[in-house]
Structure 1
């Protein structure tokens, strides 16, 4: 965990053609999603009816018995990663030997990359929220159907991309991990309960081709790991939640088994978001 998060301290901020509202200023030329410049003005898909992220309202989710346990292939393998700074986040490449199947998905998917979304000073940083509860950071692991050669090809398929979303919660003291493998941070597949909905990329061009899986279990992270930065740090790199527009959110467990109780830390973070003029949900 420490090793790949530490990479951010070595990376400089790069300009890009779009940005988050936290990075927008009168001097910047990037296209920020705020009241002055909407992403959809330059990227039409960002104004679509199947946009991500969303606020998941647990009393409205529907149980789908077809949402069975996942099968994670290659998560136990140790591998080397390359990292690319996009100016708004960093993408960590994953080998194609990392595969995803089961979980009610229509095909087997191969991994492409993972990346993180985070806030500032431990405040709201997750893109998705659950009953309005937000978290300081969210991990996205992006996969494409194994028959496609690239993410670009998969985006032409309405279910061509499968994204796994995990929330981080500040729970543990600082620790070191010598070698990295996905099982270091992700629990066993058969122990994971999750929500499922059809959505989009959360960055431009916002292609509506993503089968989203948002896990209920949170991942632990220390305060020191969370508060990484650069000479010009990237902070507030998350998109606000979008309208459901009639979409149904499904769950892998019956509604009576759902238990989403915010602890004092996450409750404080949500209050911080609200009173800090950063809304957690719409």
Structure 2
């Protein structure tokens, strides 16, 4: 009889822990916090068990070059705006005026920016949602766009190609990225869930790599990476990372989930491809081939590289 008691308690705890409709990340889960971790999101949101889910691990050697993946045109990305940054309980999110648009890049339409948000690890540790050949970067930026003629994201998500998200990785740098001052300084004011504050004037262009570094990217069809996991997203994941120093990366871990726990590791695990093909733009391959050719010729001719 004594051996049955722990089993009964464990079963009771499991029932309590898995019975809630609240969703959470794995880093939030305890028996005291009733929430559905990513492996159980589909219990409440059926789309989360779909066959075209995001994020994914991009295996570079299995990607196919697509000549249609031309450089993007970023329109009004340089426009300065004063946005509001908010702790929405699972990320830091900034709404943007619907004036910045993207065209080209193999997209079927013009898409306008709606908001951007971030996913990160713990104290600057691995935290990106997408991975490249199994490597997880410290953080990932998502700039969410919808087709230009839609007036709200919910309507756009009903279109199988209604949303286009640009994903950017961050890398640890030895020097501070001053272009991120407005974002980093605002984090102290939004530590608690639903905390919000006005940003100093910024532009989308200052947050991402320079345009000449935006020709190398990956493309696939996927979903939102948070519930309800709508499979209406054209994903573009750029190769060139954004530098932030260790202190800047660690500032994001000072935010709190709605239960007061540190907002860390707020990323969804990678999802199965289920037969999807990931495509790549041609630039990275061309540049890599040119570098390889120079190195081969140098070795063959016995030339030394200048210091």
Using structure 2 for the length normalisation, give the TM-score.
0.75
Distance in 1 separating the partners of 2:97 and 2:284: 36
Q: How does 1:175-254 map to 2 (within 5 A)?
A: 175-176=177-178, 177=181, 179-192=201-214, 193-228=216-251, 229-230=254-255, 232-253=261-282
Q: What is the aligned counterpart of 1:111 among 113, 116, 134?
A: 113
Distance in 1 separating the partners of 2:167 and 2:287: 18
Q: Taking structure 1 as reference, are residues 175 and 163 closer, same or farther at Cα in structure 2, changes over 3 Å only?
A: closer
Find the residue that maps to 1:101 and give its secondary structure.
strand
Q: How does 1:84-163 map to 2 (within 5 A)?
A: 84-163=86-165
Cα root mean square deviation, aligned: 1.7
CA positional deviation for 1:91: 1.4
Answer yes or no: is the 8 Å Cα contact 1:61–1:255 preserved in 2.
no
Q: Taking structure 1 as reference, are residues 189 and 175 closer, same or farther at Cα in structure 2, changes over 3 Å only?
A: closer
CA positional deviation for 1:171: 1.2
Q: Taking structure 1 as reference, are residues 25 and 75 closer, same or farther at Cα in structure 2, changes over 3 Å only?
A: same
CA positional deviation for 1:84: 2.8
Answer yes or no: is the 8 Å Cα contact 1:71–1:189 preserved in 2.
no
Larger Rg: 2
Find the residue that maps to 2:240 and give its secondary structure.
strand
Find the residue that maps to 2:159 and give its secondary structure.
coil
Find the residue that maps to 1:152 and give its secondary structure.
helix
Answer yes or no: is the 8 Å Cα contact 1:51–1:206 preserved in 2.
yes
Q: Taking structure 1 as reference, are residues 256 and 109 closer, same or farther at Cα in structure 2, changes over 3 Å only?
A: closer
Find the residue that maps to 1:83 and give its secondary structure.
strand
Q: Select between 186-195 and 120-129 the one with higher mean Cα deviation.
A: 186-195
5+ residue gaps, structure 2, are 1-20, 183-200, 289-307
CA positional deviation for 1:74: 1.4
Q: Select between 44-53 and 22-31 the one with higher mean Cα deviation.
A: 22-31
Answer yes or no: is the 8 Å Cα contact 2:66–2:280 preserved in 1.
yes
Aligned to 1:26: 31
Aligned to 1:41: 43
> How many pairs were matched up?
241
